[in-house]
Amino acid sequence: MDKKPNGAAVAAYISAMLGLLVMGTVHTMTGASASFSTWVLSIGKLWIPNAQGIGPYSGKETFLLVAWILSWAVLHMLLRKRDVKLAVPVVVFVVGMALATLFVYTPFIDFILGK
Amino acid sequence: MAEKSTRSIGDPSPIVTVVTWAAVSLFLILVALLTAPVSEFFGGSSLAIIGATHGLLATLGVVVGTVASYLGYRLFTGKIKAFGDLKILAAVSTLIAAATVVFGNWIYIAYRAPGGPRAFFMENNPEIHEVFFEFKEFIALFPIPLAVATTYVIWRYGDQLIENKALRTWVGIAFAVAWAGLMIAYLLGAGITKLRSV
């Protein structure tokens, strides 16, 4: 059996990380601006039932999904036939996941927003 | 030398064993449902069943996710034998994680409602909501894209993963991160529910 290029795997993992990083970034920005938070809620209301009940969280989930799926589609098209060295993508993935985690941790958000 | 079957006529087959076990379990569950005050156990909230379903799915997710992550660790070390099981469990874990979040969204409405747990925490101990619950609600989403990506990679590359040390290392990292998210969300959820439930 022919060895499959690893580009599709890189696309899958990097896009998952990007989706979570975008969600964390949006969450942090809602802490900085009430009007942005209202706009994020309006995005969630576009498709999530009872989005008002769960507030801006609905929009943050939406950003996660959209960033994840869109970036996966783009990266998959770009990388699916390529075999790449994994050291750099793995480091990018790990650092991105660490940042995504910090961006949903309130004491860190308060620190960077100077609260 | 291949293991010779030692089953003789009269021994129960695996199918008979499983069917018997399932029938007896269903009978006992039926007896419990008919005789125990189940509705009292769930509580009086209008979202009691939804909340219980969220909790049961989360528990199931932790169990299945832990077994899948163990197999992911075996893949990481290059010593996996049950690769077929890993493929199935990775897919099942993904579905359970997604279903848990859907039901979590549902009861989150009750959590945020006036007079709900969030209002209680904000009045009595804001850090419970602002630090622990906020973190829990987001970290619970982490396993979904990671589980989907991992399931995709495992199914796409199949047995080739076992020979590809670099890629299986990445799969192992993803399993570890997803499992950590699963456990943190589960433990924080259980702790917060203990303090104030919907």
Q: What is the pLDDT confidence band of residue B12, given thresholds at 50, 70 and 90?
A: confident
Q: What is the pLDDT of residue B8?
A: 65
Q: Which residue of A has its CA nearest to B142?
A: A20
Q: Kindly identify which residue of chain A lies nearest to residue B114, measuring between CA atoms.
A: A53
Q: Give the residue ranges of chain A where pLDDT is below 50.
A: none
When CB atoms are compared, the residue of B138, B149, B160 closest to A4 is: B160
Candidates B48, B67, B84, B65; CA nearest to B146 is: B65
C-beta atoms of B138 and A60 within 8 A:
yes
Band of pLDDT at residue B81, cut at 50, 70 and 90: confident
B181, closest residue in chain A (CA to CA): A101
Which segment of B10-24, B86-100, B167-181 scores lowest on mean pLDDT? B10-24
Cβ–Cβ gap B160/A9 under 8 Å: no
Number of residues that this document lists for chain A = 115
Residue range B46-195 in CATH 1.20.120: yes
- pLDDT tens digits, residue range B30-52? 999 899 988 787 777 778 889 99
A26 touches chain B (CB under 8 A): no
Does A19 contact B at CB distance below 8 Å? yes
For residues B81 and A44, the model is more confident at A44
CB contact under 8 A, A104 and B135: yes
Residue B59's pLDDT is 97
Beta strands in chain B (DSSP E): none
Query: Can you tell me whether residue B78 is helix, strand or coil?
Result: coil
Is the CA virtual torsion A87, A88, A93, A94 positive or negative?
Answer: positive
CB contact under 8 A, B164 and A24: no
Radius of gyration from C-alpha coordinates of chain A: 17
What pLDDT does B1 receive? 46
- Per the CB < 8 Å rule, is B108 touching A53? yes
Out of B131, B139, B145, the one facing A68 most closely (by C-beta) is B145
Whether residues B146 and A100 touch (CB distance < 8 A) is answered with: no
Of A9, A12, A54, nearest to B108 by CB-CB distance is: A54
A59-87 pLDDT, tens digit each: 999 999 999 999 999 999 999 999 999 99
The crossing angle, in degrees rounded to 10, of helices A7-32 and A87-102 is 20
CA torsion through residues B163, B166, B169, B174, sign: negative
Write the pLDDT tens digit of every residue in B120-154: 999 999 999 999 999 999 999 999 999 999 999 99
Tell me the count of A-B CB pairs closer than 8 A.
Answer: 91
Q: How far is A74 from chain B (nearest CA, A)?
A: 15
The b/e string for B36-72 (b: 16+ C-beta within 10 A; e otherwise) is eeeeeeeeeeebbebbbbbbebbeebbebbebbbbbb
Cα B100 to chain center, whole Å?
Answer: 8
Domain boundaries, chain B: 46-195
CA dist., res. A50 & res. A27, Å (int): 20
Domain boundaries, chain A: 10-105
For an interface test with B, the pick among A1, A3, A6 (most B C-beta atoms closer than 10 Å) comes out as: A6
Q: DSSP assignment of A18-86, as one string?
A: HHHHHHHHHHHHHHH-HHHHHHHHHHHHTTSTTHHHHTTHHHHHHHHHHHHHHHHHHHHHHHTT----S
Q: How far apart are CA B84 and CA B23, in angstroms?
A: 27
Chain B residues lying within 8 Å of A69, measured CB to CB = none
- Taking the CA of residue B27 and the nearest CA in chain A, the distance in Å comes to 38
